[in-house]
Amino acid sequence: MIDGAMQPFALTLDKFLAHAAKWRPDAGVATARDDGRVEKIGYGELMARSRRVSAVLAGLGVSLGDKVATLAWNTQAHVEAWFAVMGMGSVCHTLNPRLTPEHLGAMAARSGARVLIFSADLADLARRIAQLVPQEVRLLAIDGPALEGAEALEPLIADAPDGFAWGEFPETAPCGLCFTSGTTGAPKGVTYTHRASYLHTLRALQADSMAITGADTVLAVVPMFHANAWGLPFATPAAGANLVLPGRNADGASLARLIRAEGVTIAVGVPTVWLGLLEHLEAEGGEVPSLKRIVVGGAPMPPALMERLERRLGVIVQTSWGMTELSPSGTVASAHDPVRSAGLSGRPAVGVDLMVADAEGRPLAQQRNIEGHLHVRGAAVVERYFGEAEPATNAEGWFATGDLARIDEAGNLAITGRAKDLIKSGGEWINPAEIEAVVSALPEVSLAAVIGRQDPKWGERPILLVELREPGASDAALLAPLEGKVASWWIPDEVVRLDAMPLAATGKIDKLRLRAEFGGVAT
Amino acid sequence: MIDGAMQPFALTLDKFLAHAAKWRPDAGVATARDDGRVEKIGYGELMARSRRVSAVLAGLGVSLGDKVATLAWNTQAHVEAWFAVMGMGSVCHTLNPRLTPEHLGAMAARSGARVLIFSADLADLARRIAQLVPQEVRLLAIDGPALEGAEALEPLIADAPDGFAWGEFPETAPCGLCFTSGTTGAPKGVTYTHRASYLHTLRALQADSMAITGADTVLAVVPMFHANAWGLPFATPAAGANLVLPGRNADGASLARLIRAEGVTIAVGVPTVWLGLLEHLEAEGGEVPSLKRIVVGGAPMPPALMERLERRLGVIVQTSWGMTELSPSGTVASAHDPVRSAGLSGRPAVGVDLMVADAEGRPLAQQRNIEGHLHVRGAAVVERYFGEAEPATNAEGWFATGDLARIDEAGNLAITGRAKDLIKSGGEWINPAEIEAVVSALPEVSLAAVIGRQDPKWGERPILLVELREPGASDAALLAPLEGKVASWWIPDEVVRLDAMPLAATGKIDKLRLRAEFGGVAT
C-alpha cells in the first residue's frame, strides 16, 4: 500500500507578502519622511509595486542567483526592493552606509552585484562604490529623484508590467548577503537562504519570542542594511502586523512622534535608541501609551536603563542576543518569563541549540552556571561563509560565536564577553567585559573600553579607554569602583581619555582600531 | 564566488522532545489515573524512556517506514510510544477505540501494522483487531499488566538499552497515519509527514494562534487517537510547556480537579467537554483560577456556551476550525482579536490559504461575505490519501474540504455547513446546518439533525430528527422558531424523535446512519 502525501509548500519569503496581501490588505508599511510626514501603503499595493520592481530588474538582466545590492535606510521603497529581489530568486546584498567607500567597494566587488539600489541622499557614496568595483554597476535611486549617473526607480516602476511571477525556485536558494561588522576581524559574508529566513521568521511570531500578532504595529529602528533588520520586514507581513519605518531619523523626538502617530505596540532596536526616547520624554514630557513592549539587542542592556524604561513607559523590555551569522536572532527573552533581567538574553526557541565549550571547542562537562565559549547550531545559523570552501562549523556542526557566555539553571543565556577581547596577563585570562560593565555604570562615563596592551613582563596588561560626559574625573575615581568587584591584578594599568570613542559602522566600539592605536608596548 | 550556506536542519519531530529535554527538563507530562492520582514525568526522562521503546520496537523488527498501530487514551505511555515510533522513522497509525472492531480491523489491514500498542483496558478490542487482520500482529499493553496474548511494554522498557538514535531520515518521511471519521463517506487514510507536522506545530506556538509558551500548562482533552490530539503532544515540548493528559476521563468533575491540581493555563477540547466542566462548577461551586484560555473546535460552538465560559471562568475562548486532512488545525481565532465570536473560527496563519468556490471548484469572483465551498492549501494539508494513486487536490493544488463557509471582510472564517449535507429540493439547495442551529438552541432540545428524505415530487425534502432533554415538545413547538429565520419551504416536513441520536466515533452526529434509516421515500 503506498503512503499518502502532504502538499508541497516551499518555504520561500515571497509567501509572507502574498499572505499579508490576501489576508491583511489594509495593514501595511508606514515610513517617516524627513519632513515629518508619514507615508503609508497597504500590503496588497506594496506587493503589486514590488512585483513591478522585479519586472524592472528582470528587464535589466537580473536573474536567478544574481546579486543586487542595496544601500538604503529603512523605508517602504527599500522593503519593496527586498521583496522584489528575493521574490524573483535573486540575492539582496545589503550595504551599510556607515562603512567607508573602500570597505563597501570591496564587499560589492566580492558579491559581483551589477545593480545597486540606493537612497538618493547616499548618491555620492553609491557612485564611489560603483567606481571602486571592477564590474559595471547600474545605479537606481529610491526615495528621491534621478541623479547624475543614476536613474530613479519610481518612473521605471510606473512603466513596468504587473504580476511578475515570484517563487518557483528551491527553498534552499540564497536570498540575501550581509557582511559582518568586522569589529574583531575582517568582514565575512553571510549568505541567507529562503528556508533559513522563513524558519527564522516563524520564530519571531512565537508567543515566547517577539510574539508579533496581526493586532500589532511594529517599529523597526534596527537597520535593514545590517542583519536583515532582525527579520522584521519578513515577520510583520507574515503576522499581518503593521510595519513602521523611521527612515534615517532615530532620535528620541522623531521616535516619540512616530510611535504616537502610528500607535506602535512593539518597538525594536539597540539600547541607546531607547535611552534617546526616554531622555526626550523626560525632558519634554508626553507619553507613548500604545507601546507595550520594547525588544533590545545588539549590545549589553544597562540594568538601570531597563528599569527606567519599564517604569517610565509602562512597557515590558525583552532582551535578546543574536549576530549576523544567526539571521540574526539567537535568543529573545520571553515577555511571559516572570524573572526577566537586563543581563539575561532568554532561552533558545526550538530550532536553536546552544553549547558552552572550552577554548578548543570541547563541550564543558557542566553546561549550566559556568562561563564558556558559546557555540550555536540551528536552522538559521551559518554553515559556510560566502566565498569560502571550508565550513564555519566544527565536525559536530557547531558554530563558534566568539562570545563568552554563561547559561543559567533555567536555560537563560548571559553573554559575558567576547573571546577575542580576552586579555592574557601572566598566563591568566582577564575579561574586559566585566571591567567595562563596572566603569560604564559610573555617571561621569559615557563609553568605556578595556583592551590588552603588550607588556614585556606579563605578555599583556589591561588599559582603560574612556569617553567622559564631562572632563574632570581622576584615574583613581574611575578605577576605585573596581576594587572588590574584580581581582586586583585585573585593574587597568593606565587610563586613556578620548574625545570620542571610535565606533564601527554598526555602533559598536571599534576595538580593532583601539588595539592598533593603543595596544603596542607602552613607550 | 561561491555562495555561502546555512546549516542543514531537518524538520523532524524528534527535535521537539530533544529540545524540551535539554532546555526544559523539569517541565513534562502529567497523566490523570483512574484512581485520581496524577503521574508525572519530566521531558528528560520521558525522552530517555521513549528511546528505549524505540529499541524495543527495533528488537521486534520494526524499521523505517513500518506502521505501528496504537489504540490508547491520552497518557504518558501513549506519548512515549508516539515519539518512539516517529523518532525512529516508523509510522504511528492511531486507532480510535470508539469505532467498531470491524472498522478498526479494516484500517489495520490496510496499514499492515505488525505491532499494536494498546491501553490494557482495551485488550478485548485489541485482540479482536488482531484476529481480523491478515498479518500477524504483536500486541503490547501499556498502562496495565500483561494479558493473554499480549506482553506488557513496561518490563521490556526496563530491559532495553539507552540512547537509541533518532532522526537520520528525510524530513518528508511519513510519521503518522489517521483515518477520517467517515461520517459522510468511507474512511480515508491521511498520512502525516515530519515536515508537515513540524510546520503545523510552529503554528500552534504563534502568538496569534494557540500561543503556547514555556510558562503554560496545557490540558489536552482532544484524543491522541484522532487527528494527533490537534498536535498538542508536539507543540507542548516544542514550547517547553507542561502537557496534562486526562486519561480516559473527560467528565466535568475530573477535569476541574485536574485543572486545579496541575495549574492548567490552556485547555483544549470540543465544546461539549467545556459544557460538562461548566455544569460541574455551577452545581458544585469552585473555581479554576489558573485557567486563562480554552481552545475549542471540532464542532460548532454555541454562542451562549462561549459567553457563559468567558463570564463564569474568566477565560478567553478561542474558536478554531480543522479536520483530519489538515494535521488537523486550519484556523484558530486569536486571543488578541478584539472581535471574537462563536460563529467565527479565526483568520488563517501564514502557511494556510483558504478559498471559496462554486460546486465545481471554480473560485467565486467575490471571496468575502459570500457562502461557498471551502478549499484549503498549505504545508500541512493532504495532497494524496493513503493508498491512493490520484491526488486529493485539484489542478491548482486546492483541497476541497467538503465544508461550506463564508469569509468575512477581516478574513475570519465562518463554517456554515457541510456540502454533503445539502438537500436539493425542487432544484434548490437547503442547508441543514442553518435549520439545526435554530432548533438546537431550544432549551428542550439536546441534539438535532436535518437530513434529506427522498421525495417523488421534489427530489428531496428535509426532515428533522431530535433527541430531546425531556419528552413533551410538540412538532409545532420545535418548528415554529424557524419561521422568519429560514425560507418557508426549508421547514422540515416531519419531526422524528429519537431516544438517542446516533454518534460516530469522533462524537459527531452520524448522518450516514440517519440517512440509511430515515432517508428513503416516506411510506
> How close does chain A come to B372, measured CA to CA in Å?
17
d(CA A117, CA A223): 16
d(CA B50, CA B44): 10
Pick the closest to residue B381 from A11, A52, A176, A6 (CA basis): A6
Edge to edge, the sheet with strand A28-32 lists A38-42, A28-32, A242-245, A217-220, A266-269, A293-296, A316-318
> How close does chain B come to A206, measured CA to CA in Å?
4
What sign does the dihedral B92-B96-B102-B106 (CA atoms) show? negative
A263 interaction partners in chain B (CB closer than 8 Å) = none
Burial class (CB in 10 A: 0-12, 13-18, 19+), B521: exposed
SS (H, E, C) B45-83: HHHHHHHHHHHHHHHCCCCCCCEEEEECCECHHHHHHHH
Q: Which residues contact A410 (CB under 8 A, 6 or more apart)?
A: A339, A347
Is B180 marked active-site? Answer: yes
A265 interaction partners in chain B (CB closer than 8 Å) = none
User: Catalytic positions of A, please?
Assistant: 180, 325, 424, 429
Cα A232 to Cα A22, A105, A179, A197: the distances in Å are 19, 27, 19, 11
CB contact under 8 A, B214 and A208: yes
d(CA A469, CA A445): 6
Which residue among B23, B348, B379 places its CB closest to the CB of A7?
B379
Burial class (CB in 10 A: 0-12, 13-18, 19+), A387: middle
Cα B139 to Cα B57, B60, B122, B126, B177: the distances in Å are 11, 11, 11, 8, 19
DSSP B348: P
Helix (H) or strand (E) holding B176: strand B174-179
CB contact under 8 A, B4 and A350: no
> How close does chain B come to A349, measured CA to CA in Å?
7
CB contact under 8 A, B350 and A19: yes
Optimal mutation site among B2, B7, B110, B293, interface A, most CBs of chain A within 10 A: B7
Pick the closest to residue B492 from B503, B509, B480 (CA basis): B480
Which residue among B19, B193, B212 places its CB closest to the CB of A6?
B193
d(CA B82, CA B74): 11
- pLDDT tens digits along A107-147: 999 999 999 999 999 999 999 999 999 999 999 999 999 99
Q: Given B420, B429, B489, B517, which residue is catalytic?
A: B429
Give residue B426's Cα distance to chain centre: 36
Helix (H) or strand (E) holding A151: strand A151-152
CB contact under 8 A, B334 and A213: yes
Asked if B451 and B462 touch (Cβ cutoff 8 Å), the reply is yes
Q: How many CA atoms lie within 13 A of B24 on its CB side?
A: 27
d(CA A124, CA A455): 44
A225: cell is 542594511
CB contact under 8 A, B207 and A212: yes
> Which amino acid would we find at residue A62?
V
Burial class (CB in 10 A: 0-12, 13-18, 19+), B45: middle
Cα B498 to Cα A46, B334, B446: the distances in Å are 57, 38, 11
Q: Least CA distance to B324: which residue of chain A?
A: A6
Local confidence pLDDT in tens for the 523 residues of chain A? 789 999 999 999 999 999 999 999 999 999 999 998 999 999 999 999 999 999 999 999 999 999 999 999 999 999 999 999 999 999 999 999 988 899 999 999 999 999 999 999 999 999 999 999 999 999 999 999 999 999 999 999 999 999 999 998 999 999 999 998 665 567 899 999 999 999 999 999 999 999 999 999 999 999 999 889 999 999 999 999 999 999 989 999 999 999 999 999 999 999 989 999 999 999 999 999 999 999 999 888 989 999 999 999 999 999 999 999 999 999 999 999 988 899 999 999 999 999 999 989 999 999 999 999 999 999 999 999 999 999 999 999 999 999 999 999 999 999 998 888 889 888 888 889 889 989 988 988 989 999 999 988 888 999 999 999 888 899 999 999 999 888 888 999 999 999 999 987 767 788 888 998 999 887 6
Is B424 marked active-site? Answer: yes
> How close does chain A come to B124, measured CA to CA in Å?
27
d(CA A15, CA A169): 13
pTM: 0.91
Whether omega for the bond prior to residue B328 falls within 30 degrees of 0, making it cis, is: yes
Which residue among B206, B350, B393 places its CB closest to the CB of A7?
B393
